[in-house]
Structures are given as C-alpha cells and as structure tokens.
Amino acid sequence: MGRPVVLSNGQLFVGLDENGLVHDFYYPYVGLENLTTARSTQHKIGVWVDNEFKWTDDGSWDILVTFETDAMLSNIKLHSNELALTLLLQDYIDIDTNSLVRHITITNEQDRSRNVRLFMHQVFQISRAGRADTAIYVPDENYLLDYKGRYCLLIAGKNQDGQSFDQFAVGNYGIEGKAGTYLDAIDGELSGNAVEHGGVDSVIRFQKDIEGGQDAVFDYWVIASSSQSDAQATHLEFMRVDMEKRLQHVRQHWHAWLGGGTVEIPEFQRESLEKSLLIIKAHCDERGAVLASGDSSIFNYGRDYYCYCWPRDAAYALWPLIRLGHYAEAKLFFEFARDTMHKDGYLMHKYQPDRAIGSTWHPLIHGRSKELAIQEDETASTIFMIGEYYESSKDKTFIENIYHTFVVPCANFMCKFIDEQTGLPHASYDLWEEKFLTSTYTVSTVIAALEAAAKLAVAVDEPADGVKWKKVAESIKSHLNKLYCEENYFIKGFLLQPDGTIKYDKTLDISNLYGPYMYAGLTLDDERLTSTATAIENRIKNVTPSGGVLRYENDNYFLTKHQYSGNPWIVSTLWLAQYYATVNQIDKAKEMLDWALARQLPSGALSEQFDPESGSPQGVTPLVWSHSEMVNTILDISRYV
C-alpha cells in the first residue's frame, strides 16, 4: 500500500496513503509512537450533497496523490463524477507547532447552488491495545479532544468565513462489536454524542452552500501536544489567523531549506532530486535519528516495522545532504550515534528514535561461539560519513568535539576486530542483515572508515592515531584478494571455521562491486572491479521482465514469483548506475537512472523493491535509502550532462 506522501517537522510525522487519507501519525518522535490504528481503518473523508453520501475511498473517485514540486506539502485531487465535486487537499505539518493541517478546496461542478457537507473522521489509538483512550467534545472552544496521559490530540477547523464545524459525534471503534462512529455520517447528520472511552473514533462536519462553478475552502487540523492547554492555545491561534498565509509560510520554509545548502542544486532531474531530499528530510527526527521508513503497512506482512534508525541507512540518507551542504541533520545524527555507541566502540543493529536499542534477529551466539550481534559496516559507515562531513564542511570544531568520544573508540574497535589468520575483519552480519560472515562489502567499508579516521586524526592534531589506523587499513587492503574468487569476481564473503578452515559464500551480490568500488580505494581499471562488474551485468542485471538489478542471486525477501532469482531494487540498480557514471559509461548510467525514475509514484515516492513481472512496488514506500541513492545518482550524472 505504501505512503506516497509523508509530512514532518522533526517531531510530528504523518503518512498519507494512496487515497490521500491519514494512515500513520507519529508523535512526539518521528517513527516511534504511531497514534493511529494504521493496521485497520484509516482516517476517512466523507462528502454529502443532494441527499447522496460518499466516502472518498469507496472506489468511485478519481484520485491523484502527489507532492508539491519543491515543498513538503501534498497536492491531492479527489474527483467524483457522480457527485460533480472535486476536492483539492494541500496538507502540511505546521513548522512552528505540532499540527497537521489539511487545506481543502471543494469545487461545485454543477451550475446551481448546492449545500455540501464535508465529514472528517479520525480514529486514533493512543494506548497500545485501544483501551482507556478518551474522546470528548469541548464546547467552550468547539473542538474534539482525543487523549490519554500526556498525549493530547485536538481536532477542529474552520471554513473560509471563519466558521467552525457545526456537528460532531464521538463513539467506540473496534470494541464490543462496534464498527465505528464514522458510520453515523452516512445520512448527512451527526448524533452529537459528546464523550466516549476505550477504543474511540470521532467525526466532525463542515457545511457550506456553494454556488454553481464556485469553490469553498475549509481548514481542518489535528494538533498534537502533551497538554490540553497547549493544544488549545494553538487552536485559538489557528481560529484567529489567515490559514492561507500559514500554508504559504510553510511553503516558504521548505523553499528556504532546499536552497539553504552550500552547493547549488543542479537542474538535471531537479524535481525528482528535490522531492527525494524532502522525503529524506521528513524522516529526520530533530533529536538525531533518521528513520528507514515511516510506512507502517509492512507490519501487516511481517513481524516489525522499518521505523528504526539503522546507522547504515542513516549514514546513506545523510550523504546527499552533506554533498549539497546541508549539515545540521548530519551533526545531529553523529551525536545520536555517539550517545548510543556501545562502550566498546561499536554501534548496534538498530535503534529506536528515542535512542533505545531496537529489535533484532541477530543472536549472540554463532555455532558454539559467542559473537557480537552487530553489522560492523554500520559502525564503519558512520565513521566514513563523519569524514565526508569534514571534507565538505571543514568544521574542525565539531570534529574536535566528537573525536575522542566517538571516532577514537570506533576506530580502535575496528582495528581490534580482525582475525589474525586472515588479516581481515572478524565476521559480523552483512549489510542485508541476513548472513554472518566476513563480507567483501563490510571489509571495504572498514578500510574506508579507518582511512577517514586517520585523516580526522591529522585534522585534530593527533598524528599518532592517524598512523596507527592508516597502517591497519593498508594491512586489511593487502588481504582483499582473499575475497576474489577463481571465477573472477569478488564474492559475498567467507566464514572462518573453528577448525581453521574457511567456508566460502560465492553469491554474486551488488555489494560485492559497490563495496570495493566505493570504499576500498581500488583504481577503476583494477581487473577485479571490472570483472566483478561484468559478472553483475551477466547475472543480476535485467534478469527479470521488469528489469533493474537484484540485490543478489536467489534473494527471497518479498519474492512471490520464485521462477525468478529475486526482485529488482532501487538501491542496487542505482549503485550500478553510480559505478557506470564513475567509469564514464554515462549512457549506461542514465539507463539505470531512467529505470528508477520510471518507478516513482506520481508523488515521487520510491519503494524498496519491485515485482519481477508487473513492476509493482514491494516492501515499504517510501524507503529513505532509495531516495538517498536517487539523489546521489542524479548528482553523479549531472556532472556529465
């Protein structure tokens, strides 16, 4: 299903589904507490006119869900031939308050005046099990309040004349056999039931006589706060001000953010680039976490969400921001990583946005040996990205502040986490979180991380550290050939056995190319790189009807058509595009980029992977990593066009 539109201000994050309805509502951390019942009914929109009622998601509406080109605002068009109405929704998260605002323009397409009634439904689930929530009507200031404990959600709105909603209903949802109060709207009238507790939902009604061929404008808002009084203060402000100006203020904020980097955005594929930047930014919590994806729909098909901060995903997400001179988000994440680092100098599998350790499927034992439940490339990627940050920003003060507390312990850990027999990093879980081994990709990232750390050591006048780390990086690099097989490509990796033998995994994986190419410092004419690229082209590129590049051979993740050896991914396809761009095969690079661009939703959102036959999105939408690689690829190719 996915979330073609995501909106955020760093505390409140809202995901809109393919019908333009609220389906995820995270507060007060981006990606932590989802206050909706996203696994069941979304927040519905209903319209009554000429004694006929329709929900906008009933299948009879023509729906287009998009973003504005250069601002984190939705641009959603809902058209009903039967009702002769069009709704245009411009949705945004207020910059100064934690409020979702839906700016709704209704056009009467008939040539006569009609009474149009707009119904806005909300079904929050603040408590974990849908119990003990309360929804109540507050008559003094005419709003609904949905609350439990320190979570308060205030629901209200007004039309262009400043008139508030005129009817409401509160009731139970999903408990005691009750389907939900939203059904009360179907006759065009609401009961006025003023309070309920347990599993609750609510509906409010706006109405206006709209002349033939004319428009009416309504602003609906949900204000999130830790107290009723604070939420009410924001509500009263919204009732006083011109909400059209509020929308424009938000639009100008995002224009300023996009233009606020130190590097000018290229014109090549600018719209896709800017939309990807905004989607990345939407997933950045203001306390440093960078969410992999806010799309909760994946929970219906698995055991968990993507609503975590993987250090690797975060590092990749921030790379294009750093390249364009947006530094604030990167600094916040590096501080997040420093504060969550294990005392021995490594980062764990993933974290919640509040800095607690996330769920994992990595055991602390492999065979009969104790092992760390880590992916070492995550530690390495973060250190490497600090190096990229310094190269771009020259911010010595920040590096000095983080050097001894984060860079030193991480670099020292990587220096020690090496098998004496092979001279290569000890086994950890691979970047796809599946296999425990010494992988080509992880080895490559460790080389790059230690080289970056050595440069940072020089920058802060600690040359002895730099000499030590550079020496270890060179030693690891000298053993890289142990990961190159007789079939002439870099392999997935190997696992050193307790008896001293080595078990090889010769799976052909896109990361077998990307790791050595991007991180290991090999020359571009190195035969090991070129031969691995040839193997990639022959065995995992364009091997399904929908084209693209697989992660690796026999990849079963989300694979439903097992006659194929995997689903094509945006990340793997764009990694190959970046390699092509670097070796000056621009036509091939553009071919891969065009493949990815063709798979954007109308909003610009990119999924994780795609069905090998139909090309339909699979996995979460949007995946932040997909968007970071989109921006990086556009930046790489823009140098040549």
Span 511-542, pLDDT tens digits: 999 999 999 999 999 999 999 999 999 999 99
Q: How far apart are CA 373 and CA 88, in angstroms?
A: 49
Long-range contacts, stretch 339-346, CB < 8 angstroms, 24+ apart: 339/288, 341/406, 341/409, 341/410, 343/409, 344/409, 344/413, 345/379, 345/409, 345/410, 345/411, 345/412, 345/413, 345/414, 346/372, 346/374, 346/376, 346/379, 346/410, 346/413, 346/417
Kindly report, as residue ranges, where domains of CATH 1.50.10.10 are found in the chain: 259-638
Domain with CATH 2.70.98.10 in the chain: 5-257
Q: Give domain 259-638's CATH architecture.
A: Alpha/alpha barrel (1.50)
pLDDT of residue 302: 59
Residue 278: which residues within 8 A CB-CB, separation 6 or more? Answer: 67, 71, 72, 254, 258
Task: Give the strand pairing for 52-55 and 45-49.
Answer: antiparallel
What's residue 246's pLDDT? 97
Pairing of the two strands 167-172 and 200-210: antiparallel
Predicted pLDDT at 39: 56
pTM for this structure?
0.97
**5-257 is classed in which CATH architecture?**
Distorted Sandwich (2.70)
What are the residues facing 358 on neighbouring strands? none
- Helix (H) or strand (E) holding 216, with range, is strand 215-225
Alpha-carbon distance of 627 to 411, in angstroms, equals 29
pLDDT of 351-392, one tens digit each? 999 999 999 999 999 988 999 999 999 999 999 999 999 999
Low-confidence ranges of the chain (pLDDT < 70): 1, 37-41, 129-130, 299-303
pLDDT of residue 178: 84
